[in-house]
Amino acid sequence: MRKVLLSSFMIFLFFANIMNFFSSCSPRGREALVSYQPRPWLPQVWKSELPGDCPFEKSSDIVGVAFTRRCASYTDADTWYPSWASDGNMYSGWTDGEIGEESCHSSGGEKAHTGNAKIVGDDPLNLQIISLGSCRASALPYRGRYPCANLVHNGIWYYATYCIDFDPDVPEYSWAVLGPVPGFRISYDYGKTWIDSPLSPENPLFPESGKNGQKVKMGTPHFVDFGKDLEYSPDGKAYLVGHGASDPDPKPRKANLSWIAGDEVYLARVKPSPENINNIAKYEFFCGYGQDKQPVWSADFSKIKPLIQWNNRLGCVTMTYNAPLKKFLTCITDGWPGVKNMNTYILESDSMTGPWRLVTFMKDFGKQGYFVNFPSKFISTDGRTAWLCYSANFHQGYFTNRTVADPIGSRYALCLQEVRLLDANEFEQYKDNDTKQEADPLKSSKNIALRARVYVSSIKKLHKPFTELVDHFGEGAVDGIVDLKTMSPKHEWASNSERESAMIRLIWEKPEKIHCIWLFDRPDTKSSHITSGLLVFSDGSTLRVGELPDDATACKEVSFPPKKVTWLAF
């Protein structure tokens, strides 16, 4: 049997008129007051599910990843790769969605645009995302031109794009052809004005093409995150990792080399300057190891060799230097075919050139998580706490569907999840948490409100999450958090001064058997107070509910004989 626990929410006035209308036909359930004391989430270790052909040894220094369940999401766009600048802010590209009411899309061939944003704040849970507009640059002869390598160094912003296309043989797959990098545009004033790249899709930075079945190697490249203003770069150079493939492919498949799938990872480096960044002659490429087992670098692109290989498992790649641990962390998305669940895995190494060891293989992360990276700004002083930055669930069936989000909080946005990078002792401490009962009932798996779609009749501006998608407006009422300390509006719902019409509705993908509902008023006792309401169920039944406790230190528990429902409303 399951419970529906609605964490703190508010309806501005009351349901008096509705109550009078239903008074003759709506019985009461059994009501009781239940004291409540918030407890933190139990950290959950993501079970690593290794494919049989995994080529990496397991790490003994970072043996797993635990999600603390502290998370946040911002905007309705993806492609976030923050760069920590000397002014203390982070800057990133973005696209295919909205920041507030400003829109940007990178498809459309000649009309492709890429967005620019400033990320302000030191607390991942309370960031300000400011759009700095967008820039147009043609993708032709490809159909998409998207953000990739992003670096702000010495006050200069370097912003690269890459090209992608559809494959007519598999039109159902997402951007199945990976193309080249048409260079960098440059800003000297943190994105106020830009100088366009002198290169183009037909004259790219690296001598590569995605046309006629050709395979690129420096696909969707990203700068290695060396901290604030490249603080920890070993030589003052900027390093780039990209994913690609070689011919012949030992296990060919359709859409093998796409924006999110491939076979190999490659590495390049350059001394960042406006004069160097679009000049391939200033780059060096990783070319394997010499007889002394040291990395070999060459300015000859034709000599480039893979840094990492795992056939059919190496899609979009990012790398961050974790300075406290003196470790390089690499996040890789295994996302083929680009329209279904995606896997994410994390590797670690003492050196940028390996050898690489496996931290975790997170099957179905997101469940459709991608563009995963560790922003260096949010790594703790001991190196063991970090925040995963990613986007998720863009495709139909996933988009705006919080019932498939895993971990909770994953959506099409700039998503941030706090994680612990576990040593062996902490892994033993946390590994069985998924079998333990949460001390806080709101955070228990028995609380099916955590997995419901939520729709509200309106929302007050102060309580509106950072999204323009109405599907997410009411999530603060069912996120498992009653914030008695800060009374943050992010963890509650308030209608926009509605009276009788104010309503919140929860919907499940399949019938759920329930027998109990917890209702919380907002912790702020000065604003308003819910004195009555009406529960309406998908089976046609209704229950009148009396006054709720007015400070959220207790809830109104409404219990009733078990019933199967697909939705309920209050």
DSSP string of 307-341, one letter each residue: SEE-TT---SEEEEEETTTTEEEEEEEE-TTSSS-
pLDDT of residue 97: 97
Rounded CA separation 258/295 (Å): 28
- Name residue 152's amino acid: V
Amino acid symbol at 468: E
Paired residues of 107 in beta bridges: 144
- Positions of the chain with pLDDT lower than 70, given as ranges: 1-28, 525-527
Report the distance separating Cα 454 and Cα 508, nearest Å: 9
User: What is the reported pLDDT for 8?
Assistant: 45
Asked if 465 and 411 touch (Cβ cutoff 8 Å), the reply is no
Residue 299: alpha-carbon gap to chain centroid: 36
pLDDT at 22: 31
Distance CA 259, CA 257 (A): 7
* pLDDT at residue 2 in the model: 53
Asked if residues 277 and 330 have their Cβ atoms less than 8 Å apart, the reply is no
Kindly state the greatest CA–CA separation across the chain.
88
Terminal CA-CA length for the chain: 21
Q: How far apart are CA 91 and CA 329, in angstroms?
A: 21
Count of residues making up the chain:
570
- Tokens for 382, please give them: 């001991």
Give CA angle at 82 (80, 86), nearest 5°.
160
d(CA 301, CA 286): 9
| Cα–chain center distance at 485 | 27
> Tell me, what DSSP letter sits at residue 429?
H
Which pLDDT belongs to residue 525? 62
pLDDT in tens, 234-265: 999 999 999 999 988 888 999 999 999 999 99
The pLDDT value given to residue 12: 25
Sequence-distant (≥ 6) Cβ neighbours of residue 304 within 8 angstroms: 217, 218, 266, 268, 285, 286, 287, 298
The 3-state DSSP class for residue 533 equals strand
Do residues 374 and 310 make contact, with C-beta atoms less than 8 angstroms apart? no
Cβ-based neighbours of 350, under 8 Å, separated by 6 or more: 326, 327, 328
Q: CA-to-CA distance for 256 and 273, rounded, in angstroms? A: 34
* Cβ atoms 287, 296 nearer than 8 A: yes
pLDDT of res. 501: 81
Is the four-CA dihedral 351, 52, 386, 339 of positive or negative sign?
Answer: positive
Burial 480-507 (b: 16+ CB within 10 A, else e): bbbbeeebebbbbbbbeebeeebbbbbe
The residue written with tokens 């040593």 in the block is 423
| pLDDT of 18 | 28
pLDDT of residue 527: 65
**Strand ranges (E), 7-153:** 30-35, 44-45, 57-58, 64-74, 76-78, 83-84, 90-99, 102-104, 113-120, 128-136, 144-153
0.85 exceeded by the pTM? Answer: yes
Rounded Cα distance between 222 and 317, Å, is 7
Provide the residue type at 163 as one letter: C
> Are the C-beta atoms of 187 and 140 separated by less than 8 Å?
no
The DSSP secondary-structure symbol of 512 reads: E
| Residue 79 CB neighbours (<10 A) | 24
Determine the Cα angle at 245 with ends 241 and 249, to 5°: 160
> How far apart are alpha carbons 258 and 245 in whole angstroms?
10
SS3 110: helix
- 387: how many CB neighbours lie within 10 A of its CB? 22
CB 177 within 8 A of CB 220: no
Which H helix or E strand runs over 564?
A: strand 554-569
